[in-house]
Copies of this chain bind each other. A is one copy, B any other.
Amino acid sequence: MKKIWYTYEDIHRAIKILADKINHAQQPFDAMIAIGGGGFIPARILRTYLNIPIYTVTLSYYDVNDHPTDSPQKIQWTEGLASQLKNKRLLVVDEVDDSRVTLEYCIRELQKDGFHELGVAVLHEKRKPKKGFLPENLPYYSGIQVEDWWINYPWDALDIQAHNQQAATAHPTEKP
């Protein structure tokens, strides 16, 4: 599988593009729900442009014995948030829309919790057939569309200098 490396600056610029799209949409959102851990950094940068609070939910695809699971486990969810978020327009934020399975799961579970004014914002939208599905009328925003390559995010780098050197070799058409 082909790989691509993005610098933090690439990410920041893509979030600015994403924010512009969201700010040009008709109805503003009241708060973000960042999906942890991938959504934490995109959501925090996005807050600089949207000026709305960030709540978090976290999922894991590993069980208590660190074995991979097919369906996500809720690690931290919306307990205690019902009254604060009631009737609010909530923007669910993640780093990448890959198979769309996680996004489908989150939206469905948030709807079960009684949150119905939802939208989705992702930094990277992979151009590929999706296994998960979102409600047809759900507002959906992505910073940039990308090929179905393995994305190396800067926050996963053990050595940020080596990571940036890899990122510098990428062809300009692959960059935001």
Contact = CB atoms under 8 A, between A and B. Distances in A.
A154 interface: yes
A79 B81 CA distance: 9
B54 A36 contact: yes
A53 interface: yes
A160 B9 contact: yes
Contacts of A160: 9, 12-13, 16
Interface residues of A, number: 38
A151 interface: no
Contact of A80 (B40, B56, B76): B76
Nearest to A64: B84
Copies in the complex: 2
A89 interface: no
Contacts of A43: 40
Interface stretch (A44-52, A99-107, A116-124): A44-52
A51 B104 CA distance: 26
Given A9-B161, A53-B58, 20 more contacts: A7-B8, A9-B164, A37-B44, A37-B47, A37-B53, A37-B54, A40-B41, A40-B43, A40-B56, A41-B41, A41-B155, A44-B155, A54-B58, A55-B76, A56-B56, A56-B58, A77-B80, A79-B79, A79-B81, A80-B80
